[in-house]
Each structure stands twice: as C-alpha cells, then as structure tokens.
C-alpha cells in the first residue's frame, strides 16, 4: 500500500521559516507530478505547490515567492521550503500526487504561525 509520511511542521513566529518533508513509498515516485496541499481549520484542502516529474514548479498565488517545492527522486522525498511565514499559513500540510490527489492521505504535519 502506498505510504506518504509528512514531517517538519511546528510552531513558528511570523517571518520565520520551516522545511517540510514527505517520504513516499510503495509507488514509482519519480514518474508522477507531486504537490503540497494544506487544510486550515474550517476550510477546504487546497493545493499550494506542485512539481512535475521533470521538476517544473507551480504555486498558488498566496505562497508564490515565499514557498519552494523540490523533490529528490533518489530518496523518494518531496520538500517544501517555507519562508516569510504568515499567520494565514497556519494549516495541516499534506503531500499527494497533483493535480489530482489520488493517493491515500498521510497524517499531515501541523504548521502554526503565531506570535
């Protein structure tokens, strides 16, 4: 069964940075576009960053210029570098295939931005 394990979240102050990781197993990671999604309390899950199998990237307007998605196909790992964090970035962050999240969701990693 496909497994996605997110890590790296935490509590930070506005303006600080975090790096999230997603370890993928039991599927051919390198062949697929992947994405980072987030779900804030009371809101729908949204795709915030996407990376193609060839490492082309796309970002939601709300994070463009602050977040960077990357991948290491040798390690089956997806990353999200988040800089200049804002309180509105507070959410549970998940990884999955993109743009259609067809894999079973992992547990996610909580990111809280608060002073």
Q: How far apart are CA 83 and CA 29, in angstroms?
A: 26
Q: How far apart are CA 89 and CA 74, in angstroms?
A: 29
Q: Which of 30, 33, 32, 20 is nearest to 93 (CA)?
A: 20
To the nearest 10°, the Cα dihedral for 11, 13, 14, 17? Answer: -70
Q: Dig out the tokens for 28 from the structure.
A: 């051919």
Residue 104 contacts residue 111 (beta carbons within 8 Å):
no
**pLDDT value at position 1?**
85
Residue 50 contacts residue 33 (beta carbons within 8 Å):
yes
- The predicted model gives 18-33 an average pLDDT of 94
Q: What does the pLDDT look like over 26-59, one tens digit per residue?
A: 888 999 999 999 999 999 999 999 999 999 999 9
To the nearest 10°, the Cα dihedral for 81, 90, 12, 65? Answer: 40
- The predicted model gives 58-79 an average pLDDT of 97
**pLDDT value at position 15?**
98
Residue 7 contacts residue 21 (beta carbons within 8 Å):
yes
């Amino acid at each position: 069964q496909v497994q996605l394990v997110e890590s790296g979240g935490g509590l930070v102050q506005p303006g600080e940075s975090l790096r999230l990781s997603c370890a993928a197993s039991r599927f051919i990671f390198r062949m697929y576009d992947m994405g980072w999604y987030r779900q804030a309390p009371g809101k729908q899950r949204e795709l915030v960053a996407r990376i193609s199998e060839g490492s082309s990237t796309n970002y939601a307007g709300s994070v463009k210029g602050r977040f960077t998605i990357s991948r290491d196909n040798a390690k089956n790992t997806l990353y999200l570098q988040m800089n200049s964090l804002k309180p509105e970035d507070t959410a549970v962050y998940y990884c999955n295939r993109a743009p259609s999240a067809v894999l079973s969701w992992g547990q996610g990693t909580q990111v809280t931005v608060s002073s």
